[in-house]
């Protein structure tokens, strides 16, 4: 947080108008830089609305050609067939299957790693583990997709579930995508949760030890509950990240659009469809590409909602300890 | 009591297994990729472009494409990102606009990268379909043709990528600026320096290691990013290097080609890898070789970042 400088020195320390003209110009220039990010958000919304809901320029938008009712209540997604149907649910189903599996793997792994790093590991062990986790976080998603396709499916899922348990495992399947996305979000959950765990005041730990608590009592009954809202926020952010993840699921999960819960079948996700629709498209026209914008709009709204909720949780949490 | 201690130590074991299994996964991933890549990692792999025959496929076009893409991305995003962070940390007072920018920033960081791809496709590649033809600029060395809309060119990809990493650059720079002790600011101002003089000659130099580390990490994210590039049209089946520049010598001696390169078609390392992965089983080893090259580049970048961070930590003690 901010260093301990008197407030009157940090902000507005010079009287208004006391800056020289060229200093004012620099300040204005820097403000413009900061406004680029606002401009980005506005253009994202404009672009998605322009091709999704209402056309300001160009051809008719998606929802001017297809009704919202069909989008939300049809059960089939067949944008390129002669009789196109646009029901978003198969894609949503695929997306939530993948992110659900990813969270089942990433959240326990990430949380346990966070507890270990913040409560158990000594400084030497930490200084090794942290960079390795950072390395894991830095692996590009296309590599994770490749790993899912050439390793997880043939050498983990097939022997385990096909040979041993008798399920039928497709070459492209949701489970492998979910697993690699889970591995991908693990370092994210770990580092964010570790930050919240470490911000729990030392006095709470000391009090718990003084009352005769074991290490387990201190970490799981005192520190984790104290940091629970922050942990929840990190889990939500990981979930949003898994929903928006593109390359790994495009490569590992295949292109079959269906509603179902069998993790060993191929299912296309929302992001997978967007790549599918725009890849190789030379002049981006037509209803298929428009439908990709509608899917992107839904994706944007879902991740935005989750992000806003998790930030609200984080903000409330900060107020408690600072 | 014994049961509680047993519970405690077994929980500790579980947590330890969790951390080390993450490491095990990383090791497995690396060894699988290395193992598959072995047969393809020859010198020729770096000298060849795309090919439909696995034996003739190479990553040269991908490397040069990524080089141009990342250089331009850095040129666009770093000044803007650092400027924005300086504004937010050193200039902005707590107005409604500032709060809007801050909230917006944390939301932008959570937007899926593919959505940035849609943005880039409409704004940079097609420019809403508003322009028909390019413009020509008369430069001293000859005519520079700027196609408008940009189409599927390096510059469209670089602009998209810049917007994608901008939140990361801003947030890490903000952290670096916050780490500069307030006493330095106070001392500089007390000696009569103006606000900008303080920032330029005291705060920026002091936070330079932090800013550099953040910038390198943001850039390395851009190197591996694939989804938005697919949207803005990096071509998988591309054998040419942007501007036809295939050696460092050409890069340094042929300004005409250098000027043309940003408006050329391109492929990039992760895009080539994706292309090979989708080309079927015979290309899996080629993809693995590409991944090894990509991971090597990323490791170099991360290594530099870690080195700078360590050196700064040893050198500067506030």
CATH of the domain at B46: 1.10.3720.10
Cα–Cα distance between A218 and A223 in angstroms, integer?
Answer: 6
The token duo for B244 is: 């036809």
What total of structural domains would you count in chain B?
1
Give B200 to chain A, closest Cα distance, Å.
11
CB atoms under 10 Å from CB of A1, counted, come to 6
Say if the Cβ atoms of B83 and A3 lie within 8 Å: no
Cα–Cα distance between B276 and B233 in angstroms, integer?
Answer: 16
Residue corresponding to tokens 């290309």: B283
Q: What pLDDT score was predicted for residue B292?
A: 94
More confident residue, A249 or A286: A249
3-state helix, strand, coil in chain B (%, to 5): 75, 5, 20
Q: Given a cut of 60, is residue B141 above it in pLDDT?
A: no
Say if the Cβ atoms of B84 and A304 lie within 8 Å: no
Q: What pLDDT score was predicted for residue A74?
A: 83
Q: What pLDDT score was predicted for residue A12?
A: 47
**Average pLDDT over all residues of chain B:** 84
A206's enclosing H/E stretch is helix A202-210
What is the average pLDDT across B165-177?
93
pLDDT tens digits, A224-275: 888 888 899 999 999 999 999 999 999 988 888 888 888 888 899 999 999 8
Cα nearest neighbour of A120 on chain B: B12
N-terminal to C-terminal alpha carbon distance within chain B: 46
**Which residues of chain A from 117 to 146 reach within 8 Å of chain B, CB to CB?**
117, 120-121, 129, 131-136, 138-143, 145-146
More confident residue, B73 or A134: B73
User: What is the full DSSP assignment across A140-195?
Assistant: -HHHHHHHIIIIIIIIIIIIIIIIIT-----SS-HHHHHHHHHHHHHHHHHHHHHH
Q: Kindly state whether residue B289 falls inside one of the protein's structural domains.
A: yes
Give A156 to chain B, closest Cα distance, Å.
12
pLDDT tens digits, A77-117: 888 777 888 888 999 999 999 999 999 999 999 999 999 99
B143's enclosing H/E stretch is strand B142-146
Say if the Cβ atoms of B36 and A150 lie within 8 Å: yes
Q: Kindly state whether residue B35 falls inside one of the protein's structural domains.
A: no
Q: What is the pTM of this model?
A: 0.87
What is the average pLDDT across A211-235?
89
- Tell me which chain A residues have a C-beta less than 8 angstroms from the C-beta of B93: 11-12
Q: How does residue B61 score in pLDDT terms, banded at 50, 70 and 90?
A: confident
Q: What pLDDT score was predicted for residue A265?
A: 87
Q: What pLDDT score was predicted for residue A106?
A: 94
Q: Given a cut of 90, is residue B173 above it in pLDDT?
A: yes
Q: Are B178 and A2 in contact (CB under 8 A)?
A: yes
CA atoms within 13 A of residue B166's CA, in its CB half-sphere: 31
pLDDT tens digits, A5-18: 544 455 544 444 45
Which residues partner with B138 through β-bridges? B143
Going by C-alpha positions, the residue among A250, A266, A270 that lies closest to residue A258 is: A266
The token duo for A7 is: 């407030």
ipTM of this complex: 0.87
pLDDT tens digits, B8-24: 889 889 999 999 998 89
CB atoms under 10 Å from CB of A171, counted, come to 12
Say if the Cβ atoms of A143 and B295 lie within 8 Å: yes
pLDDT tens digits, A132-180: 888 888 899 999 999 999 999 888 888 888 888 888 888 889 999 999 9
Say if the Cβ atoms of B196 and A23 lie within 8 Å: yes
Residue corresponding to tokens 């490791």: B299
CB atoms under 10 Å from CB of A166, counted, come to 7
**CB contacts < 8 A (A, B):** 287
Cα–Cα distance between A124 and A130 in angstroms, integer?
Answer: 10
Selecting from A5, A11, A38 the residue whose C-beta is nearest the C-beta of B186 gives A5
Strands, E, within chain A: which ranges?
77-78, 85-86
Say if the Cβ atoms of A41 and B107 lie within 8 Å: yes
Give B295 to chain A, closest Cα distance, Å.
7
Q: Given a cut of 60, is residue B137 above it in pLDDT?
A: no
Least confident of A47-56, A175-184, A302-311: A47-56
Selecting from A27, A132, A303 the residue whose C-beta is nearest the C-beta of B112 gives A303
pLDDT tens digits, B184-225: 889 998 998 888 889 999 999 989 989 998 999 899 999 999
Cα–Cα distance between A206 and A7 in angstroms, integer?
Answer: 33
Q: Kindly state whether residue B28 falls inside one of the protein's structural domains.
A: no
- Tell me which chain B residues have a C-beta less than 8 angstroms from the C-beta of A151: 28-29, 32
Instruction: Cite the residue boundaries of each domain of chain A with CATH code 1.10.3720.10.
Output: 86-321
Distance of CA B296 to the CA centre of its chain: 15
Rg (CA), chain B: 23
Confirm or reject contact between B191 and chain A (CB < 8 A).
Answer: no
Residue B287 CB partners (closer than 8 Å, separation 6+): A146, B273, B276, B277
Considering the segment(s) A86-321 as one domain, its CATH architecture is Orthogonal Bundle (1.10)
Residue B28 CB partners (closer than 8 Å, separation 6+): A151
Residue corresponding to tokens 């981006």: A284
Q: Kindly state whether residue B267 falls inside one of the protein's structural domains.
A: yes
Say if the Cβ atoms of B18 and A139 lie within 8 Å: no
Handedness of CA A206, A212, A213, A214 (dihedral sign): positive
Q: What pLDDT score was predicted for residue A1?
A: 43
Burial of A200 (0-12, 13-18, 19+ CB in 10 A): buried
Confirm or reject contact between B310 and chain A (CB < 8 A).
Answer: no
Burial of A209 (0-12, 13-18, 19+ CB in 10 A): middle
Q: Given a cut of 80, is residue B287 above it in pLDDT?
A: yes
Going by C-alpha positions, the residue among B290, B249, B223 that lies closest to residue B74 is: B223
- Tell me which chain B residues have a C-beta less than 8 angstroms from the C-beta of A279: 230
Cα nearest neighbour of A190 on chain B: B19
Q: What pLDDT score was predicted for residue A19?
A: 64
Q: What pLDDT score was predicted for residue B280?
A: 82
Confirm or reject contact between A25 and chain B (CB < 8 A).
Answer: no
Confirm or reject contact between A296 and chain B (CB < 8 A).
Answer: yes
């Amino acid at each position: 947080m901010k260093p301990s400088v008197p407030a009157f020195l940090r902000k507005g320390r010079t009287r208004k108008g006391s800056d020289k003209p060229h200093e004012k110009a620099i300040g204005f220039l820097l403000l413009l830089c900061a406004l680029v990010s606002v401009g980005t958000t506005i253009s994202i919304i404009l672009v998605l609305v322009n091709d999704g809901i209402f056309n300001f320029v160009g051809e008719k938008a998606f929802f001017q050609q297809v009704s919202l009712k069909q989008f939300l209540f049809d059960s089939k997604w067949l944008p390129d067939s002669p009789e196109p149907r646009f029901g978003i649910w198969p894609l949503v189903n695929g997306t939530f299957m993948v992110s659900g599996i990813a969270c089942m793997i990433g959240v326990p792994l990430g949380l346990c790693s966070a507890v270990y790093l913040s409560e158990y590991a000594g400084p030497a062990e930490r200084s090794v583990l942290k960079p390795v986790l950072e390395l894991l976080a830095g692996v590009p998603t296309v590599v994770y997709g490749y790993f899912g396709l050439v390793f997880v499916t043939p050498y983990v899922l097939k022997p385990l579930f096909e040979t041993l348990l008798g399920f039928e495992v497709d070459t492209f399947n949701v489970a492998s995508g979910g697993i690699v996305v889970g591995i991908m979000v693990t370092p994210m959950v770990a580092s964010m949760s570790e930050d919240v765990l470490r911000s729990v005041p030392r006095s709470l730990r000391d009090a718990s030890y003084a009352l005769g608590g074991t290490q387990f009592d201190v970490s799981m009954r005192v520190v984790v509950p104290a940091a629970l809202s922050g942990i929840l926020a990190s889990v939500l952010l990981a979930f949003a990240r898994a929903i928006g993840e593109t390359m790994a699921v495009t490569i590992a999960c295949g292109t079959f659009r269906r509603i179902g819960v069998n993790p060993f079948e191929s299912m296309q996700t929302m992001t997978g469809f967007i790549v599918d629709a725009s890849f190789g498209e030379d002049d981006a026209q037509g209803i298929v590409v428009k439908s990709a914008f509608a899917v992107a709009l839904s994706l944007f709204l879902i991740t935005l909602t989750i992000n806003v909720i998790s930030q609200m949780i984080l903000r409330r949490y900060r107020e408690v300890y600072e | 009591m014994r049961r509680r201690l047993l519970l405690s130590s077994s929980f500790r074991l579980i947590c330890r297994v969790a951390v080390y299994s993450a490491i095990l996964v990383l090791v497995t991933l690396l060894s699988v990729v290395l193992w598959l890549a072995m047969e393809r990692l020859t010198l020729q792999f770096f000298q060849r472009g795309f090919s439909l025959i696995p034996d003739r496929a190479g990553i040269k076009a991908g490397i040069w494409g990524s080089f141009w893409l990342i250089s331009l991305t850095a040129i666009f995003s770093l000044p803007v990102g650092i400027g924005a962070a300086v504004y937010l940390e050193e200039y902005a007072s707590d107005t409604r606009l500032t709060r809007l920018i801050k909230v917006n920033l944390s939301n932008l960081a959570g937007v899926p990268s593919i959505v940035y791809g849609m943005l880039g496709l409409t704004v940079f590649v097609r420019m809403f379909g508003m322009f028909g033809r390019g413009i020509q600029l008369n430069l001293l060395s000859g005519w520079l043709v700027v196609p408008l809309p940009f189409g599927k060119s390096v510059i469209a990809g670089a602009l998209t990528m810049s917007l994608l990493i901008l939140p990361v650059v801003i947030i890490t720079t903000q952290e670096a600026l916050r780490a500069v002790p307030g006493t330095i600011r106070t001392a500089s101002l007390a000696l009569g320096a103006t606000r900008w003089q303080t920032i330029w000659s005291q705060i920026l130099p002091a936070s330079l290691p932090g800013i550099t580390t953040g910038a390198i990490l943001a850039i390395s994210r851009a190197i591996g990013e694939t989804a938005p590039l697919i949207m803005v049209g990096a071509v998988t089946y591309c054998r040419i290097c942007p501007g036809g520049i295939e050696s460092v010598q050409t890069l340094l001696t042929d300004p005409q080609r250098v000027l043309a390169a940003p408006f050329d078609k391109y492929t990039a390392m992760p895009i080539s890898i994706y292309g090979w992965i989708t080309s079927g089983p015979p290309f899996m080893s080629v993809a693995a070789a590409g991944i090894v090259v990509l991971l090597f580049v990323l490791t170099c970048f991360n290594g530099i970042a870690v080195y700078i961070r360590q050196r700064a930590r040893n050198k500067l003690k506030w």
